[in-house]
Amino acid sequence: MNTHHERANVLIEALPYIQRLSGKTIVVKYGGAAMLDDNLKKRFMEDITLLKFVGMNPIVVHGGGPDINGTLSALHIETKFHNGLRVTDEETMKVVQMVLTGRINKDIVAGINACGGKAVGLCGIDGHVISAHKCPPVEGVDLGCVGEIDSVDTKLLNMLTSDEYIPVIAPIGCGEHGESYNINADTVASAVATALKAEKLMFLTDIDGIRRDPEDPSTLIYEISSMDVAGMIADGIVSGGMLPKAKACAKAIREGVNRVHIINGTIPHSIILEIFTDSGIGTMFTK
């Protein structure tokens, strides 16, 4: 009987969040270990499908670095990075576009559809959703076909989400003359969420979120303001790999996204646990 009561309490705890978020846009950046483990993949697809069925409008933006590296290696094409950005010559760009918009994107679409959702695979070229230009040289290094976002056209995305569809976006942008650009998936997710004035932007990572002591999981910060983040960055508490994500979260908040979350995608059903429980499991950024 206690087990039945616990299950009922879980549903009741979720009720106010379902009511509050009905009709709202939730942008999820899907990446990291959650894309590599079959069990975590299925749990992610279930979470996204559930969000749609309870009245929200989820949009997925995905990466795919490990798959790109593996394909380049199989084709004997050298992988080069500079300041964390992939140096993308024309030969590499063909592989990047093939992997991201082909196998990875369609695998995600198929997985959501298998859970009962209706996903539609896109990249920034489709409907000219993401307009971009060539990234200027970084420290004198030409990054090739790496792009910076000029604008996000929300018409197609709004049309899909207002119906029963779940857009799944590969981070490829379109240049003025139809050229393709490789764009960081975190950047694309943030730009899409900002353009849509999303209620939530969620980054799935391989760590729990921001900690007061980076080495101590018990010091996880569950809620933080963009002003507090700036202070922690200045004090050196937020540094290393978390620094760019924290800055991206604070920027999205400043530009109109209502809530931004960093959560651990290696926890099954991490999206549901973060959105529908009082405590959450990651770090939530607020205005």
Tell me if 23 is assigned to a ligand binding site: no
Helix or strand (DSSP H, E) at 274:
helix 270-275
Tell me if 65 is assigned to a ligand binding site: yes
Burial class (CB in 10 A: 0-12, 13-18, 19+), 85: middle
Which conformational region is residue 127 in: left (phi greater than 0), alpha (psi within -120 to 50 degrees), or beta?
Answer: left
Which amino acid type is present at position 7? R
Helix or strand (DSSP H, E) at 113:
helix 105-114
Which amino acid type is present at position 229? V
Tell me if 178 is assigned to a ligand binding site: no
**How far are the Cα atoms of 26, 43, 134, 199, 206 from residue 246, in angstroms, in the given order?**
18, 25, 25, 18, 14
Tell me if 64 is assigned to a ligand binding site: yes
What residues are paired with 265 via a beta bridge? Answer: none
State the Cα–Cα distance between residues 197 and 92, nearest whole angstrom.
33
| Residues flagged as binding site for substrate | 64-65, 86, 182
| Residues flagged as binding site | 64-65, 86, 182
